[in-house]
Structures are given as C-alpha cells and as structure tokens.
Amino acid sequence: MALTPEQLREIEALRAEARPTRRATVAALEDILYQPLAVLDHGFVRVIDYMGDDGAVVQAARVSYGRGTRRVSEDQGLVNYLMRHRHTTPFEMCEIKFHVKLPIFVARQWIRHRTANVNEYSARYSILDKEFYVPAPDQLAAQSAANRQGRGESLSGAEAAHVLALLRGDAEQTYRHYVEMLNENEDGTALDPLRSGLARELARINLTLATYTQWYWKIDLLNLLHFLSLRADTHAQYEIRVYAEAMLEVLKRWVPMVHAAFMEYRMGGAALSRTAIAVVRRMLAGETVDQPGSGLGAREWRELMAVLGRDGR
Amino acid sequence: MALTPEQLREIEALRAEARPTRRATVAALEDILYQPLAVLDHGFVRVIDYMGDDGAVVQAARVSYGRGTRRVSEDQGLVNYLMRHRHTTPFEMCEIKFHVKLPIFVARQWIRHRTANVNEYSARYSILDKEFYVPAPDQLAAQSAANRQGRGESLSGAEAAHVLALLRGDAEQTYRHYVEMLNENEDGTALDPLRSGLARELARINLTLATYTQWYWKIDLLNLLHFLSLRADTHAQYEIRVYAEAMLEVLKRWVPMVHAAFMEYRMGGAALSRTAIAVVRRMLAGETVDQPGSGLGAREWRELMAVLGRDGR
Amino acid sequence: MALTPEQLREIEALRAEARPTRRATVAALEDILYQPLAVLDHGFVRVIDYMGDDGAVVQAARVSYGRGTRRVSEDQGLVNYLMRHRHTTPFEMCEIKFHVKLPIFVARQWIRHRTANVNEYSARYSILDKEFYVPAPDQLAAQSAANRQGRGESLSGAEAAHVLALLRGDAEQTYRHYVEMLNENEDGTALDPLRSGLARELARINLTLATYTQWYWKIDLLNLLHFLSLRADTHAQYEIRVYAEAMLEVLKRWVPMVHAAFMEYRMGGAALSRTAIAVVRRMLAGETVDQPGSGLGAREWRELMAVLGRDGR
Amino acid sequence: MALTPEQLREIEALRAEARPTRRATVAALEDILYQPLAVLDHGFVRVIDYMGDDGAVVQAARVSYGRGTRRVSEDQGLVNYLMRHRHTTPFEMCEIKFHVKLPIFVARQWIRHRTANVNEYSARYSILDKEFYVPAPDQLAAQSAANRQGRGESLSGAEAAHVLALLRGDAEQTYRHYVEMLNENEDGTALDPLRSGLARELARINLTLATYTQWYWKIDLLNLLHFLSLRADTHAQYEIRVYAEAMLEVLKRWVPMVHAAFMEYRMGGAALSRTAIAVVRRMLAGETVDQPGSGLGAREWRELMAVLGRDGR
C-alpha cells in the first residue's frame, strides 16, 4: 500500500478535524474514518463518509419522527425480522462511501454490481502509477478439477517461481513501454524531446489487468449486503473476497445489529429447494435417504449434505 | 402541518443534541436539520440526514485523497464544467434523506422517479390520520385550453365554493366511513363490540387521493437535480412543484456551488434543436425569419421565440 | 372487465395478423398475445410483447453464437444451476411487456418495484372511466389478529353487506362529483355551459383508491421473478396476488424451464438461518429440540416447524 | 473480425429460419439480424433480438389497446414532441439485444452505463482467444494539447512504427505467457504434463487491456439513446465511438422516427445556459458582444460561438 507522504499528510489532516453535527454518528466508524485498510499487496479500502446507523434502519421501518431507537433488544428483533422476511427498503436508508485501490481485473468483477455510484481515476486524463498485483506464492493455485470456475491445489515451488517471474516480468515490461510511449516525465516534460508521445487514452491499452486503479464507490446498505453476500462467499475469487472481508469488518463497526442479522440469516444461512425440504422431512421421519432416491442431482445432494453436516458421498 | 406535541418534542430532542464528526458537515443545513418546512395545507419536507457537500463533488471528480477543496473560484469553475458537460458521476457522491408528508396523488407522481430509496408509511399496517388536501381558493382553476395537461383561468367564486364543498364533503365522508369500517378507536378498542371491523388493507381503499401519506425519501444529488428540473418546472402540477421549490431552498443551503451551476445551466438554460440553431444563425446574419420559413412547427416556433425573448405570434 | 366493442375489435385485428420473424418465438405465448386475462372485477393482464425464450437464458449463460439449445435435459439442468446459485444475469436477457388494468391501491404497491418500465394512463390529461373495485363478499375479512399486516376471519353477512354498501356508495358518489366538477360530457361539451369546469389534474383527487387505472409495464425476466416471488406469496395482499398468479400462468407458457426452476427453488423453497440449520442438524442426530432450547424466537420456531412439516406449538 | 467457420454456420442457420409472430416486426432490422457488423480490427456488433418499433413508442404514449399507429406524420409529430419535452417513459417500451466483441479497455468505458443487462464471456471459466486491438496507423495520435482528455496530431511515421511494434510485441508476449502459465492445449490436454498449470482466473491477469472480450448487452431504447448521445459524440474516445456509430445505423433501421427525432433534438442540438441565452438576445438586438463583456468564461464563449457558427477567437 504505497501511499505517498503527502497523501498520508492529507489523510491525517482530515482525521485531526472534528465538527459538531446533529446527524446520527457512529463512534466506532469515526475511529477509522479516512484510514486505509490494507488489502492485497498494494490495495486498500478506506471509508470516506457514511449516512445513518442501526437506528436509521429501525426509524425508517417505523416511519417515525424521532431517532427511532427503543430498547436494544427490541431494535435487534426488528432488524432480524426485516432481514428474515426480506423487507429491503429500510436497509436502503443507510449509505457509505469508500475509496478503494484495486487491480483492474478485480475492478472488472466489482463493477458488475450496478447499484452503486462510482468515480474512477481516469487513465484517459492521468498517468497510472507503477503498481501491479503479484499474487503471494501461497495464492498460486492450479485450475480446480471439481469446479471449472475456481482454484485447486497450490503450484509446486518451481512452477510457482516460474509463474511469478512471468507475471512480474510482463508487468514491468508493459509498464516500461507505457511510459516510453507516453514519452513523459513525472513533471510533464518529454523524455525524448524529438518525439510527440502517444495519447494517454491509447498508451494505457498496453498495461495488463494486474495494474492497480482506484475509485470512489458509494452504495446503500442493502446493496452493500448483496455485494458482500456474493463477494465474501467462498466461491468468489480470492482477490475480490479479501476486499469483501475488509468491508465486513467495516460493516461490524458501522451497523453492528445489521451485521449480526446478516451473519445469521445470509452468510450463515442456506436456501433449500422444494425437493430438498422433502428430503429433510423424510430423514426427520426416520427414513434413510440416498442420492438416487432423493430426487436431487448429484451436486445438489452434496450441497444439501454439506448444509446438514453429513457426508455427501 | 399538524404535528402532534409529542412529535415536536421528538424533533426538538434531536435538534438539541450534537456530536463531533470527522465527516464533511454543512452548517447552513445543520441549522434546519429535522425541522419541518411547511408545504400545502398539511404537508412538509424535512431533512433527516445528508452525506457530502460541494467539496465532495470536487473531490470525487479529482479522485483525491484529501478534502479536495482548493480556492473557491477553482472549485466553482470545476462544478460548472461538470454540470455543463453532463459529467454526472461526481454529483452522485452526495446523498440526502428527507421525511415528506404529501397527498397521495402527489406521491403517485413523485414515485415515478425510480432512482431513490423510499420507505412509506403502511396503511396495511397502520391507520391513516384524518388529513386531506383541500386546494386554496386561488388554486382552483379550469382545465387549460392551450395545454391538455394543465390549468387555465381560476374558477369563479360560486363555482369555486361549490367545488370546495364537494372536495371537503367527500373527503370527510369517505374518512368517516373508513373509520366506521375499521371499527377501531384510537386506543385499539372496538367502536362497536358486536362487529369485527374490516381489515386495514381493505378499508383504506375507501379513502380519496387527497389523503395525506408520508415517507422517508433518500436520493443522490444527481438524481435530486433531475427530479427538481422536472418538478420545479412550470409545466409540473402546482401541488408537486411547491415541494420541489422547498427542496430547491434546501439545495441552496446544502451545496451552494452546485445550486448556482444548476440554476445557470439547467433551470435557466434551454435546449435548441438542430433546426432551431439554424434559425438563430440566420437571424444573427440579419435575415428576417418567420415560422413558415423556419422549418419549425408552430409550437416549436413559439417555444424558440420565448427563449429568445421575442414575440412568437 | 369492461372492454368496449371497439377495444375488442382492435385486439382481434392485432391477433389476426402474423408476420415472419427470425427472432426466437414461443408458440404457447403467441396463442394468448394481446388477449386480456381477467383479474378482479374489472381488471386484466394482457401480454403485449416479449423478447427471448428459455433458449435465450441458456444462450446468454454460454455467450454462444447460435441459438444455444442443446438437449432439453441439459438446458433444464443449466437453468436449474443458474437459479440455484443465483446467477442472475442470464435471466435478464428476456423481457416481457404487459398492459394491466388495476385499482389504484394495487398500483401503489406494484410501483414499489422500481426495476421496470411503466407508462401509466394520465388522469392529468384524460378522464378516468367509472370503474372501481368492490371486493367479492368472501374477500371481506377482518384484521388479522396474528399478523398486523393481513386478514383474518371473514365478516359476518350483515357487517359485510354494510361494508359493501359503504364502499360502493362512496365510490359512486365521489365519481359523480368528479364528473360534476369536471363539468364535461363524454364528447367534450360542458354539462353546464355556465360553469368552467375544474382542471382534470385537480378533479381526480376526489376519486378513491378503489378506482381503476391502467398502464403498460415492461420488465426483464429476472425482475419479474423477483416481483412474483413477493407478490404471489401468501403474505401478499389478495388483490395484488391474483395479478401475480395470472402472470405465473403467463410465465409457464413463455419460459417453461425457467418456470419449473422457479417453482422448485423459489416459490417452493425456504431459507434457513444459521441457528435453524443447527436445529435441523441436532434433530437429525436424534436429539429432541424444543423452542426454548433451540436458540430461535417463538415466531422463527413456528416458521421452521412449518417448513419441516411439524407441529410448531 | 475472426469468426470461425462453425460460428458463421451457426449464424447462417439462424438467419435461414423464420417463424410467424403476432408481435410488431421491423423488416429492415430483420434483414441484418444476427449478422456481425465489423468494428475495429477484430470487433463486431450484431443484433440478437429486439422488442417493439416506432409504433410501440406511440402506443405507450397513448396507452392504447391497438397498435397505436395513425398517420405517419401524426406519429412523427408525437415522437418529436416526446423527444423535445423529454417525456422519457415511452422510449423505455422498446428493447434491443446486441452481441458485441470489443477490447477490454473499451468494455471498461462501456460498462459505466449501468442501466443495461450484460452477460460477459468469463475468463475465470474459459480461455480467451488470441485477439487484441492494434490501432490503425492513422489512429496513433499524440496527447491533445487543448484537451487533457483526448488526442491531438498524428504521430510521425517513425514514432508510430515504434509504438505499433511495442503494442504488438507486448500483446503477443503476454498472451504467449498466458498460455504457458495455463499449460493447456486447445483440446484441454497439458502442454507440459509435469506442470499443473495456473488457474484461469489468475493467468488472465497477465493479458493487456487491448485483449478482446465479448458480451451480450441488452438495453431499452431510452438508455440506448443516452449511451449513443455520449459515445457517438466527438468527445468520446475513437475506439468506443465507432461502436456507437455502428449502433446508430442499427437505430435508423429499427426505429426510423425515433432516429430522426434523436438526430434533430439530441445529436444535432445544443444546450444554452442562462447567460448564453442572454448573450444571444443581446446579439439579436444588434449589440456587439465580446467574450469579456459576455459574462461567459473563455471556453464557454468558444463553445457558444461554435454553436452559433461564428468565430470564437
């Protein structure tokens, strides 16, 4: 996470200031406001602003005039009820804004969530920093045999070393050529005064998908939960999952009641199909059910057995 | 605007509190936070929460690490540039939440703007108050002759009085029957212990579109501007326009630079078609152009002449 | 369902025409195209247009160049997989357009689904027909005692008759006054030439929420499924549920594979919380679990027992 | 545009079929259905499906029961009126689906338009083809001096040749290493049986932003017009503008009335600010206005003079 001293000073200057507000505030979130939370080798997530707290969800559900908090246990019960019955609109009443630094291939997955506001650093307009993602050795894995979309065993030391050398070498070289084509020093003067330099919007196409970009990303709480349920899931690619995990920690600070309900009903829960429910009922009635007799396909059977804590083979 | 003493106390309690925050704050908006701004006979708009300020727009446009404000003139210039060239995403970086009390027929127009978060008071769940909109006498107008969707001359005194009597009488009667069908006192006991009372979700269908409802409404600045450009326009129905006008005042307190740019480029601006541009060019070249020779239809010609401050007949 | 002879002729004229197309077509849906499917006392749903079929979902999931259908069993398996794992984007590749006639209070619930395109008949511009919803006697129910948002027992004959008289009487009277205020005959001439007539945008506020309106409603398949999962649910108000049920029949004609997967994984499925899963595991291990020892609240316990087909008391 | 013979056969098979439909059809669009329209060196746009025609816009605006077409001149007048007064919802009633092949850096700009449905070819799941964008020599331009976000003069022959060699060389090398890391032949067997091969989701990060991807992209007509107004604009980057231009031709075939109105009121029109209107009024009154006395900044003055066909220096 290569923040320049100047950037760190700007952040510290923001953190040093405090002004009074009549709005709902969350002390645990204020504690980390503006601070970069490191993710991957050069990335970060930092909270820039937020609107609302647990009480705002409760208040919206009741359309009340005041802050809307009663006793903590009542409020948690209401939040649980809303989460369980998918009453979505009260969760839209909170909003959060992040500044995120992330590799472009992660950004491409991330942006598929359309219900957020995004302002990305423009490589048509500005020059990208020399920062690219290189996986840690323990993250270099083979293609999964079981799942066409995932990772399997780690690579051997020799193969891993070779892969790292290729990734690093190509990222270095494509960036070096990027700068060469731009023909521009950091102060804006030409590297070679006899050349014009290629337009930024074209030179950038030489960079690899491992290059870091950054953006401001603002989203309401409901859609953040949806994002997290998909991206903090074990099926998500590791490189986006670590961002989701960092944001789960932010969630816990920001809206602890919503976080608790989310872990109980979404992250820790499971959906059963009509046929799966019938299987569970039969098992509870004492019947021995096997996959061929279950009406479920092989994969669904394994998934159900995993939910039930049983051996699915 | 019939707030109960209890509601007023809740609002005053909220206003009396202040906590420190590291977030961007706007003193002029804090001044009116939670306070109902009266609209129509029983309605209001009150700001419940906000995220960001003029600086947040600037900061997002620059994807910077700090607050992002430079000199005021530079920031206003950037905001103007963004507004003029329809660079929309920086304006999405601010968010505001209102509590609004409004007649149902206004709510039906309002909700057509889909890019907002809404939590409405539920008449399936709760009993609506006896509050309905009755137009002020000067708002009782005939159907416009020029515009099939609008108002013309005011009604005469006698016709106005008759209309008011009908509106008021029917609203009173349908509400009285609503309560009778519900068979429920304010304290939840039955009016008539021998009857069951009709379910709330059914009884409410007897109310007229003049009945007041209320909701929490949260929207980003970009979409708020879009809402205001349509609803503060002279073609909007008076009863929604007055809400838009109250929110324009809020906008001026909240983000004065954005407000200034909005008044210059949207509310005060005009769009010219390809043919209209050709007409203006011919006129500037000294040619006398009339409607038949303009290539514009009669209505477009009148609209263009109005923009140019000329007599369009 | 009061269609005029002229409207019926227009519909028949459309149905009589057929043109060749290279697009995917669905014969079972073509069979009912444009035909009104009756709902409630005066409402209807009719399919106006559609894009795509089961094959379009499959084709999008594979990003293939051709029609994308293989053997039926493979395609159904893929659709099931997409539904089970909430791979949402392929379902967005189909689109359908309805013309719906519905009471305003139903329209108000319906419009809360924001991810659709809507064009509503304008009562600012046109005069509404004299059509309002009056519940069938068996639908006149008391407020539910168990659920603050729902219906309980049917009203007695005498109370039901009284309620119907009130609903009908007020709808008739408010409509009569609406016309009186408009001062307009069907042919546009004045009822009373000495009066101006009130603007349409104002006169309409005297109508009750039982009045019928109509709109064109266009939505992609993913969001239609979401709408149906909420509105065909037993917790939905009866008057919107019957519309959802009519659209479920349309779904079955249009995309039978998606319909089958939807009934299996959504309508017939259930979501278990982390604690509920633990309860099921304990029960499967032979343990007797009761509500106090389950870690679940009373209502969640009842809901879980209902899923498991057990007595929840 | 490297379609395989098999893909071309699939497309021809689709085009050879025709089935009868009761839906609105557009012969001029059917003519090119499924056919790839070549864009850039390897890209294409092809129409996969569509819903509605000019008549559907008109029908929605009138909420009518039949096809909704009257005389052509009346319909064009209504479409013009809707476009001029930004009555947006009738344009949402048409929908179109494209299959697009495009370089990743273009896809990154494109996806910023959130109001569309997208299904992208997954490089987590599948192996990308060896296809990357290399600009034609006349597109190799220097950074614009006037506009920080744009292109200026073309590069000299020697510099252009050097840039092309770098772009081509790095794209070739990074793709070669991509395949080497995957360790996979086209038939799925290992290149080197002693290595495991890196997971696809990781290997892809070595590819440059010039690599081609492809997706299904479905959008309603209103949002397509918005996309085109931004991306067919002269300020858009050349490499996305050519896609927009290809889609403008599709638009003309599909909805010729909407296309005509769009060219008149959007593409060929201009927005004037409040101050700019005042300037035009002064000029029409015979006054000589210069930039310092206009109240406009230098850039706005130049933009206004360009609209008015005058020399802005």
Please state whether A286 falls in left (phi above 0), alpha (psi between -120 and 50) or beta: left
Mark yes or no for CB contact A284/C283 under 8 Å: yes
Do A173 and A237 fall into the same domain? Answer: no
* Residue with more model confidence, B64 or D212: D212
Pairs across C and D, CB distance < 8 A: 142
Do C117 and C246 fall into the same domain? Answer: yes
Do C185 and C78 fall into the same domain? Answer: no
* Helix or strand run (H / E) with residue B253: helix B238-254
C5-33 burial, b if ≥16 CB within 10 A, otherwise e? eeeeebbeebeeeeeebbbbbbeebbebb
Q: Is residue A141 part of a domain?
A: no
The pLDDT, as a whole number, for residue B152 is 87
Q: Three-class SS of residue C180? A: helix
Q: Is residue C150 part of a domain?
A: yes
Do D169 and D223 fall into the same domain? Answer: no
The pLDDT, as a whole number, for residue D160 is 95
Read out DSSP for D51-84?
E--HHHHHHHHHT-SS-----HHHHHHHHHHHHH
Cα-based angle C80, C84, C90 (whole degrees, multiple of 5): 70
Stretch C44-49: mean pLDDT:
97
Q: How confident is the model at residue A70 (pLDDT cuts 50, 70, 90)?
A: low
Q: What ipTM does the predicted assembly reach?
A: 0.94
Token code pair at residue A191: 């590297």
Q: Is residue D143 part of a domain?
A: no
Mark yes or no for CB contact A210/D208 under 8 Å: no
Q: What is the pLDDT of residues A237-287, one digit of tens each?
A: 999 999 999 999 999 999 999 999 999 999 999 999 999 999 999 999 999
Average pLDDT, chain A: 93
The pLDDT, as a whole number, for residue D66 is 67
Token code pair at residue A100: 């995120």
Q: Three-class SS of residue D157? A: helix
Residue A69 has pLDDT above 60, yes or no: no
Q: What is the pLDDT of residues A96-134, one digit of tens each?
A: 999 999 999 999 999 999 889 999 998 888 899 999 999
Q: What is the pLDDT of residues B5-59, one digit of tens each?
A: 988 999 999 999 999 999 999 999 999 999 999 999 999 999 999 999 999 999 8
- Residue C200 has its nearest CB partner, among B143, B205, B207, at B143
CA dihedral B92→B97→B100→B106, nearest 10 degrees, is: 20
Range 105-124 of A in CB contact (< 8 A) with C: 112
Q: How confident is the model at residue C307 (pLDDT cuts 50, 70, 90)?
A: very high
The pLDDT, as a whole number, for residue C70 is 63
Candidates C265, C282, C289, C296: best to mutate against A (most CBs of A within 10 A) is: C265
Q: How far is CA C310 from CA B282, C283, C294, C301, in A?
A: 83, 12, 15, 11
The closest of D101, D22, D91, D70 to D251, measured between CA atoms, is: D91
Q: Given CB atoms, is C219 within the 8 Å cutoff of chain B?
A: no
Q: How confident is the model at residue B186 (pLDDT cuts 50, 70, 90)?
A: confident
Are the CB atoms for A285 and C286 separated by under 8 Å?
no
Mark yes or no for CB contact A284/C84 under 8 Å: no
Stretch C155-184: mean pLDDT:
96
Last residue of a domain, one of D184, D206, D228: D206
Do C151 and C96 fall into the same domain? Answer: no
Are the CB atoms for D151 and A201 separated by under 8 Å?
yes
Sign (positive or negative) of CA dihedral A286, A290, A295, A301: positive
The pLDDT, as a whole number, for residue C302 is 95
Q: Is residue D229 part of a domain?
A: yes
Average pLDDT, chain C: 93
The closest of C303, B99, B125 to A81, measured between CA atoms, is: C303
The pLDDT, as a whole number, for residue A124 is 87
Which residues constitute the domain of residue B284? Answer: 274-307
* Helix ranges, chain A (H): 5-16, 27-30, 54-62, 72-84, 104-110, 157-182, 200-203, 221-231, 238-254, 256-262, 274-284, 291-294, 298-307
Q: Is residue C133 part of a domain?
A: no
Q: What is the pLDDT of residues A154-201, one digit of tens each?
A: 999 999 999 999 999 999 999 999 999 999 887 778 889 989 999 999
Q: Which residues of D touch B308 (CB under 8 A)?
A: 277, 280-281, 284
The pLDDT, as a whole number, for residue B185 is 82
Work out the minimum CA distance from D59 to partner chain C, whole angstroms: 9
Please state whether C300 falls in left (phi above 0), alpha (psi between -120 and 50) or beta: alpha
Measure the CA–CA gap between C28 and C255, rounded to whole angstroms.
10
Q: Given CB atoms, is A168 within the 8 Å cutoff of chain D?
A: no
The pLDDT, as a whole number, for residue C23 is 97
Measure the CA–CA gap between B219 and C108, rounded to whole angstroms.
20
Mark yes or no for CB contact B174/C177 under 8 Å: no
Work out the percent of chain C whose per-residue pLDDT is above 90.
78
Do C223 and C148 fall into the same domain? Answer: no
Are the CB atoms for D57 and D260 separated by under 8 Å?
no
Task: Give Cβ neighbours of residue D89 (< 8 Å, ≥ 6 apart).
Answer: B112, C117, C118, C119, D60, D222
Report the Cα–Cα distance between both ends of chain C, in Å, rounded. Answer: 44
Do D107 and D26 fall into the same domain? Answer: yes
Please state whether D40 falls in left (phi above 0), alpha (psi between -120 and 50) or beta: left
The pLDDT, as a whole number, for residue D199 is 94
**Cα B127 off chain centre by:** 25
Strand partners, D208: A208
Do C121 and C20 fall into the same domain? Answer: yes
Q: Is residue A224 part of a domain?
A: yes
Candidates C85, C92, C280, C299: best to mutate against A (most CBs of A within 10 A) is: C280
Are the CB atoms for D102 and D243 separated by under 8 Å?
yes
**Cα C154 off chain centre by:** 23
Q: For position C23, which CATH number holds? A: 3.30.1360.170
At residue D71, what are phi and psi to the nearest 5 degrees? -75, 150
Mark yes or no for CB contact A274/C280 under 8 Å: no
Q: Is residue D312 part of a domain?
A: no
In the set A46, A200, A204, A231, the catalytic residue is: A231
Neighbours of B27 (CB within 10 A): 10
Token code pair at residue B300: 């477009």
Residue C125 has pLDDT above 90, yes or no: no
Residue C3 has pLDDT above 90, yes or no: no
Token code pair at residue B23: 């977030």
Measure the CA–CA gap between C90 and C234, rounded to whole angstroms.
28
Residue C139 has pLDDT above 70, yes or no: yes
Q: How confident is the model at residue A294 (pLDDT cuts 50, 70, 90)?
A: very high
The pLDDT, as a whole number, for residue B117 is 95
Q: Which residues of B touch D80 (CB under 8 A)?
A: 297
The pLDDT, as a whole number, for residue D312 is 67
Last residue of a domain, one of B165, B182, B206: B206
How many structural domains is chain C composed of? 3
Work out the minimum CA distance from A274 to partner chain D, whole angstroms: 28
* Residue with more model confidence, D169 or C63: D169
Work out the percent of chain A whose per-residue pLDDT is above 70.
96
At residue B120, what are phi and psi to the nearest 5 degrees? -100, 145
* Residue with more model confidence, B149 or A272: A272
Do D103 and D72 fall into the same domain? Answer: yes
Q: What is the pLDDT along chain D (313 residues), one digit of tens a residue?
A: 578 898 999 999 999 999 999 999 999 999 999 999 999 999 999 999 999 999 999 988 887 766 655 677 789 999 999 999 999 999 999 999 999 999 999 999 999 998 899 999 988 888 999 999 999 999 999 888 777 677 888 999 999 999 999 999 999 999 999 999 999 887 778 889 989 999 999 999 999 999 999 999 999 999 999 999 999 999 899 999 999 999 999 999 999 999 999 999 999 999 999 999 999 999 999 999 999 999 999 999 999 999 999 976 6
- Residue C89 has its nearest CB partner, among D34, D99, D117, at D117
Q: pTM here?
A: 0.96
Q: What is the pLDDT of residues A189-233, one digit of tens each?
A: 888 998 999 999 999 999 999 999 999 999 999 999 999 999 999
Mark yes or no for CB contact A66/B22 under 8 Å: no
Do C39 and C145 fall into the same domain? Answer: no
Q: How confident is the model at residue B69 (pLDDT cuts 50, 70, 90)?
A: low
Locate the chain B residue with the closest alpha carbon to A24: B49
Are the CB atoms for B211 and B107 separated by under 8 Å?
no
Q: How confident is the model at residue C185 (pLDDT cuts 50, 70, 90)?
A: confident
Q: Is residue A134 part of a domain?
A: no
Last residue of a domain, one of A206, A228, A248: A206
Residue A68 has pLDDT above 60, yes or no: no
B126-142 burial, b if ≥16 CB within 10 A, otherwise e? eebbebbbbbeeebbbb
Do C30 and C119 fall into the same domain? Answer: yes
The pLDDT, as a whole number, for residue D149 is 72
Do A69 and A155 fall into the same domain? Answer: no
In the set B46, B200, B204, B231, the catalytic residue is: B231
Q: Three-class SS of residue D218? A: strand
Neighbour subunits, C (≥3 Cβ pairs < 8 A): A, B, D
Mark yes or no for CB contact B148/C155 under 8 Å: no
Mark yes or no for CB contact D166/A206 under 8 Å: yes
Average pLDDT, chain B: 93
Stretch C22-38: mean pLDDT:
97
